[in-house]
Amino acid sequence: MSKIHVMDEILANKIAAGEVVEKTMNVVKELVENSIDAEATEISIKLIDSGVKEIEVSDNGIGMDPEDAKLAFERHATSKLKNLDDLFYIESLGFRGEALPSIASVSDMRLKTSNGEVGTLITISGGKNMKVEKSDLQVGTTITVSNLFYNTPVRLKYLKNLYVELSYIVEYINKMALSYPNIKFTLINNDKLLLSTDGSGDLLKVIYEIYGVDITKKMIPINAENDDYNISGYISYPEVNKGNRNSITTLVNGRVIKNNDLNKCIVDCYHTYMHKGRFPVIVLNIDVDPILIDINIHPTKMDIKFSKMDTLKELIEKTITKRLEEITLIPEVSVRDSYSVSEVSRQIKHNDVEVVKDDKKYEEIKLDFEVFEEKQEYDKQVEEELKEELPFEIEEEKVKPKIKKMIPRGVVLLTYIVAENEDGMYLIDQHAAAERINYEKILKQMKEKPVVIDLLIPIKIELRKDEFILAKERLGLLEEYGFSSEEFGKNTIIIRSHPAWIPEDRAEYIIRGLVDLVIEKGEFDFDQFIWRMAATTACRMSVMANTYISPEDEEWILENIRYCDNPFTCPHGRPTIITYTKYELEKLFKRQLD
């Protein structure tokens, strides 16, 4: 008896769905790409519960006749490839003919389409029981996908929570809007508008809709070409940067791609302009002859191969580097001194500045300024009263040091403290050691009831919509640690207070780094986040390498590192201290012979 047999078509479609449809974003991606290939100028995406319950994508494209509409649900049925030669010259976004049958096999699907001459309505459940009816003649196509993965419960189980699924969709639609500024995109979830572009073809307008005014003002246009490639788009000033690569949008012939080599090339152009681990905001569109690229290397079509990658990298590096050298890279800063606070307060009281749209939040900010001087006076009074009530000094609990006392002897390379004691010589990384000291200090303070500092001027952070969704969900978890945040206008949050273990002079720099951690994609492990929050804060408040420190600073680091629970590595695992024992030194100088 034969052991090999041909799979049932529905089973084959479900297997294909495992490659094409991993999450709700993949469904949206395939349907939107089909709409673009259908020459649509308006595309509307409506979601219920982040697409898990329902996804509806409608367009004003060319539509289909009844025969094509039925054939669209057959595996490998496509209008975009006719022969083998077409595979090497792909100009459309979709071309495999797997999307619709794969999605239909794991959902309930409804397709309504018309080419202006005849309208067709098709319903199909789980890839079978297709029903075909006549419909109205409105030109275009509307596809509704309901109950995704209802017949594959294992795959449904591994969907992320609704906020994460929605953030993936918003991120993808953002990138498609950047790729096609001439198409009007509308994205709605549970009747709430998340994105709306006007389809005017102005890329900067789309950047504004996604990133907001602050980042848009700091974007630089680029345009260059060589014999093989033409690149265009916008790059950000180095002062505008993020904690991950999600804001690097690379497009090839209108297709959103993720290519590690391209991302590395772009980031390398900002070398020496921004800290390691920070990434610019980039919208880079690459136009190239389709014969020079291969997009048929992954089912999701998110990565491609370039036949002349070296010339592309050279063009990108030369263009971005030149533009960065041409502009003045002196960022504008606002100094938060007592004069600026009183001046802003005066302006608010006399309505000399433009007010924000939300009157309630505007009144709250005004109140903060009005009570500023009163609060300062009260704090001073309480401090004096406490001093009078305590006739003695509180003796801190003695902790046994892990390292013997070290005597500083200087600093080499503006980074490494040289010290000694009777056991030998020590080299201490000033940043790693200070980071470890601050890290353990922060962790101990986080376990106690937080002492909260109210910000005189709240910190405003403008985010992309997908980032804003995650921030709204997760920032509330930090209230017990002394952070107070709230929504403040479109895709914007403000931080009103922070715990006292964040130094006030670096509060905004540190808090922006913490927000970058909060909005990272993927599963959110709260315990892991607390560790990363403490480590990130400690890093940002510690003296950096290649920085002069005084003898008093040297002594402070050497004394405090001795009492750390783990004085030997920084929170990220790098060594803080290297020692040369007296025996090892004498052996190096041939004073000891074995």
pLDDT, residue 8, reads 59
CB atoms within 10 A of CB 214: 12
Q: 442 vs 243, 264, 503, 525, 539, CA distance in Å?
A: 21, 34, 11, 19, 11
Q: Measure the CA dihedral 283/520/208/358, to 10°.
A: -170
What is the pLDDT, as a whole number, of residue 423?
87
The pLDDT assigned to 144 comes to 95
Three-state SS string over 362-388 comes to HHHHHHHHHCHHHHHHHHHHHHHHHHH
Report the distance separating Cα 428 and Cα 404, nearest Å. Answer: 14
- Biggest CA–CA distance in the chain, Å, is 99
Which helix (H) or strand (E) segment holds residue 527: the answer is: helix 526-541
pLDDT at 549: 93
CATH no. for 401-579: 3.30.1370.100
CATH for the stretch 212-326: 3.30.230.10
Residue 140 tokens, joined: 């275009």
HSE value, Cβ hemisphere, 13 Å, CA-based, for 167:
25
Q: What is the 3-state secondary structure (H, E, C) of 407-436?
A: EEEEEECCCEEEEEECCEEEEEEHHHHHHH
The residue assigned the tokens 């880079």 is 284
Closest C-alpha among 330, 142, 140, 120 to residue 237: 330
User: Cα(98)–Cα(110) distance, rounded to whole angstroms?
Assistant: 17
Domain locations along the chain: 9-199, 212-326, 401-579
What dihedral do alpha carbons 424, 430, 432, 438 form, nearest 10°?
A: 110
Strand pairing report for 282-288 and 248-252: parallel
Q: Which two tokens stand for residue 496?
A: 């009103």
- 8 Å CB contact between 494 and 460: yes
Half-sphere exposure of 154 (CA within 13 A, CB side): 3
Exposed, middle or buried: residue 65 (CB in 10 Å: 0-12, 13-18, 19+)?
middle
Domain range 9-199, CATH class: alpha beta
Give the Cα separation of 540 and 532 in Å (integer): 12
Contact (CB, 8 A) for 55 and 24: yes
Give the H or E element holding residue 361. helix 359-370
CA–CA distance, 490 with 469 (Å, rounded to integer): 11
What pLDDT does 334 receive? 40
Those residues whose C-beta lies under 8 Å from the C-beta of residue 168, and which sit 6 or more positions away, are 23, 24, 25, 160, 466, 521
CA 342 to chain CA centroid, nearest Å:
36
Q: What is the DSSP letter of 394?
A: P
Report the chain's C-alpha Rg in angstroms. Answer: 30
Q: What kind and span of H or E run contains 557?
A: helix 551-561
| pLDDT at residue 560 in the model | 94
Q: How many CB atoms lie within 10 A of CB 153?
A: 8
**pLDDT given at position 78:** 55
Bridge-based pairing state of the strands 128-135 and 119-125? antiparallel
Task: Give Cβ neighbours of residue 260 (< 8 Å, ≥ 6 apart).
Answer: none
* CA proximity to 96, closest of 88, 87, 104, 105: 87
Give the H/E segment covering residue 548: none
Q: What DSSP string describes 301-360? A: ----EETTHHHHHHHHHHHHHHHHHHS----------HHHHHHHHHHHHTT-SPPPS-HH
In angstroms, the CA 490 to CA 510 distance is 23
pLDDT in tens, the chain (594 residues): 555 655 555 555 544 444 557 789 989 998 998 899 888 999 999 999 999 899 999 999 999 988 888 888 886 555 544 444 444 445 556 545 577 888 888 889 999 999 889 999 999 988 788 899 998 888 999 999 998 888 777 677 767 788 889 999 999 999 999 999 999 999 999 999 999 999 999 999 999 999 988 889 889 999 999 999 999 999 998 888 888 888 899 998 888 888 888 988 998 888 767 767 788 999 999 998 888 877 665 555 567 788 888 999 999 999 998 888 777 554 444 443 443 334 333 433 333 333 333 444 334 433 443 443 444 454 445 445 444 444 434 344 456 888 889 999 999 999 999 999 988 899 999 999 999 999 999 988 888 888 898 988 899 999 988 889 888 888 887 888 888 888 888 889 999 999 888 888 888 888 888 888 888 877 777 777 888 888 888 998 899 999 999 999 999 999 999 999 888 888 887 889 998 888 888 888 888 766
